[in-house]
Structure formats: C-alpha cells, structure tokens
Amino acid sequence: MRRNKAVDTPTASQVHGSDTASSQRGRVIRTKHADYQLVPLPKAQREIAAALRLTEHKHIIYVLTEVDVTTPRQVIHEQKARGEEPLSFTAFIVTCLGKAVDEDKAVQAHRKGRNQLVLFQDVDVFMPVEREVEGQKVPLSLVVRAANHKTAREIHQEIRAFQKQPATQLVQEMPPWLARVFARWPGLIIRLLGWAGGRSACV
C-alpha cells in the first residue's frame, strides 16, 4: 500500500502573534507584523456601548420610506444666501416627527398592566448628537422635550446649545461611590439601572 505524502502543518507557536501566509507545500511562511496602533477606548464610548445593551431585546420596527424634501432644502439654501443662520435639517425632521405623533398619540403609548394604555400629551424625541469627548467624535443622547409644542427654530437652537455645552458623561451625574463602581463595571450598573427602570416604568 502506498503511503500518502506527509504535509507540513503549522503549530500554534508558529502562527500566534504574527501575520502568516500558506505556501503551496502547506508550510506557513512567517511575514512581518502588521502595522497597527492600540489606543484607549474613550470612557464615553464605553458608557454608550453599555447603555445600548438595554435596547438589545426591544421590539423595533424598521420602515423604509421616501419623502420629497425639496422645499425645506430650498428654504435652508435661501437662508444661507441671505446671510442668516440656516435652519438645521435635523431640527426640521424632529419638528415634523413631533407634529405627526401629536396627531395620533397612540403611536407612542405605553402599556400599563394588561388592560390600559398611557397616552402622553408631550412628544419627546430622542436623537444622537455628535460631540467631541476626550478628543474623539462620539454620539451623545439628546432628548427634545415636548417637540410637538416647539417650532423648528426653537429645536434648532436647542440642538446647537447642546453641541456647544461641555460634554457631560453619565458617571458625572452619579453619586461618587456609584461613579467609581460604574467606571469599573459599566455593563453591570447599566443592567441594574435598566432592571430598576423597567420595574417602575409602565410597560
């Protein structure tokens, strides 16, 4: 019986810690190390990542739609041409959303128990706003309260004011002892806060 020709296979020590490429004979050729840099993950991004875990199991509806925004874009360009501060397009979208939900508040209703719905009179719109934290651009949460009662210009000014404020982090709003615990175990604290909020919320 003819024996199969032995094929050289790499060991863990040969492969680990370097970029490798396989040759035709099955040998692993060691190549130079990849060029990369390790930088610390900003604390704000760690907090955001931990907070996003609360929404992992939420019911989400994805909608694809098409809207003609020619007129608002034209208005913004005319404001620029006149030397005025142009309206934020995001502020325009938030205003439209607030007015639309105001016409049918059931779309933002929360369940209370099995047989009741809570209908809020104010439409609060959550939105991420890019801010510079620790030298990096990160999205921070802004909630526009009662957007259905505000004009597009008022919402625009609120967004701009939020962008100009010094970036505050979640840990700075906590008691000192909780901030120290959060800095060490952000995921655990976020889950506990989410559990406590879920117990007290009307869902």
Q: Could you report the per-residue pLDDT of 141-197, keeping only the tens digit for each?
A: 889 999 999 999 999 999 999 888 876 544 445 566 666 666 676 666 666 666 655
Phi, psi of 42 (to 5 degrees): -55, 145
Instruction: Report the range of poorest mean pLDDT among 26-30, 35-39, 69-73, 109-113.
Output: 26-30
Question: Tell me, what's the pLDDT at 193?
Answer: 63
Higher pLDDT, residue 24 or 59: 59
Higher pLDDT, residue 88 or 40: 88
Nearest to 73 by CA among 60, 92, 55, 56: 92
Tell me, letter by letter, the H, E, C secondary structure of 145-180. CCHHHCCHHHHHHHHHHHHHCCCCCHHHHCCHHHHH
Helices 176-184 & 186-200, crossing angle to 10 degrees? Answer: 120
Tokens of 11: 């060991």
- Could you give the 3-state DSSP secondary structure of residue 82? coil
Higher pLDDT, residue 26 or 183: 183
Q: Could you report the per-residue pLDDT of 79-123, keeping only the tens digit for each?
A: 999 999 999 999 999 999 999 999 999 998 888 888 899 999 999
